[in-house]
Amino acid sequence: MLVLAGIFPLYRYNASQAKEIKNLESQLRAQEELGPIYLQLMATMKNKKEFTLPYPVKRAVLREEAGKFPDVFKAIAEKSGLRMVSITPDLRMLTEKPPYLLQHAVVRGEFADFRNLLIELGKVPYLEKIEEISVRQLPDTMELKAEIWLAVTGL
C-alpha cells in the first residue's frame, strides 16, 4: 500500500509533465513555421511609406472662385471613382453674404471610394468643414450626401 501511495502520485506528475512537454513542442513547431512569415510582415511594415492625410494651409477664396467648386468637386469625385449626382449651394447663404458658403453634395458609387473622395476633399484649401454625411444603400450602389462648408471672402 505504501508503494502504491508513492507511485501513483509520481505517475500522475509524470503524465502531466509529458502533456506539458507535448504542448510546448507544438507551440515551438508553430513558431518555427510562422517565424519566417512574421519576419516578412515586419520587413513589409518597415518599408511601407507612412500615410498622412493632407492638411493644406486654410485660406478663404472669393465668392466668384467658390462658384467654380462644383467643377472641382466633380473632378475629385471622378478621380475617386464616384459619380456626382448633384452639388447645390444653400440659397440662404447666397443672400446673407456670410464668411462661409454651404454646398449640398450627392455622389454615388462604391463605399470604399467614399474614403478616397473625403481624402481628396481634404486637399482643398478653402474647404472649412464637412458637417454632415449620410450614406444610403440603393439597389445597385451607395449614395453619399454631404454638407460641405467653404470659406469665402468678398461681396
Residue 78: CATH number of its domain: 3.30.70.60
Of the listed ranges 3-7, 60-64, 133-137, 138-142, the one predicted with least confidence: 3-7
44 and 76, same domain (yes or no): no
Q: Which structural domain range is residue 144 located in?
A: 61-153
What pLDDT shows up at residue 29? 92
What pLDDT shows up at residue 48? 64
85 and 45, same domain (yes or no): no
**Environment class of 135 (CB within 10 Å of its CB; exposed 0-12, middle 13-18, buried 19+):** exposed
83 and 127, same domain (yes or no): yes
42 and 74, same domain (yes or no): no
Q: How many domains does the chain have?
A: 2
What is the residue type of 5? Answer: A
- How sure is the predictor about 41, in pLDDT bands with cuts at 50, 70 and 90? confident
**In percent, how much of the chain has pLDDT > 90?**
41
Beta carbons of 74 and 87 less than 8 angstroms apart:
yes
Which residues are bridge partners to 129 per DSSP?
149
Please report whether residue 92 resides in a domain.
yes
89 and 44, same domain (yes or no): no
Contacts of 81 (CB under 8 A, 6+ apart): 109, 110, 113, 116
Per-residue pLDDT at 64 exceeds 70: yes
**Environment class of 82 (CB within 10 Å of its CB; exposed 0-12, middle 13-18, buried 19+):** buried
Please report whether residue 116 resides in a domain.
yes
Please report whether residue 149 resides in a domain.
yes
CA dist 96 to 63, 92, 153, Å?
12, 6, 13
Which residues are bridge partners to 135 per DSSP?
144
- How sure is the predictor about 90, in pLDDT bands with cuts at 50, 70 and 90? confident
80: cell is 475617386
Please report whether residue 56 resides in a domain.
no
Stretch 71-98: mean pLDDT, rounded? Answer: 87
Please report whether residue 102 resides in a domain.
yes
71 and 114, same domain (yes or no): yes
22 and 65, same domain (yes or no): no
46 and 65, same domain (yes or no): no
**Environment class of 76 (CB within 10 Å of its CB; exposed 0-12, middle 13-18, buried 19+):** buried
User: How many residues can be counted in the chain?
Assistant: 155
Does an H or E element contain 66, and which?
Answer: helix 63-66
Distance of alpha carbon 68 from alpha carbon 82, whole angstroms: 19
37 and 66, same domain (yes or no): no
Which residues are bridge partners to 101 per DSSP?
150
Please report whether residue 77 resides in a domain.
yes
44 and 78, same domain (yes or no): no
2 and 40, same domain (yes or no): yes
Give the end of a domain, one of 31, 50, 69: 50
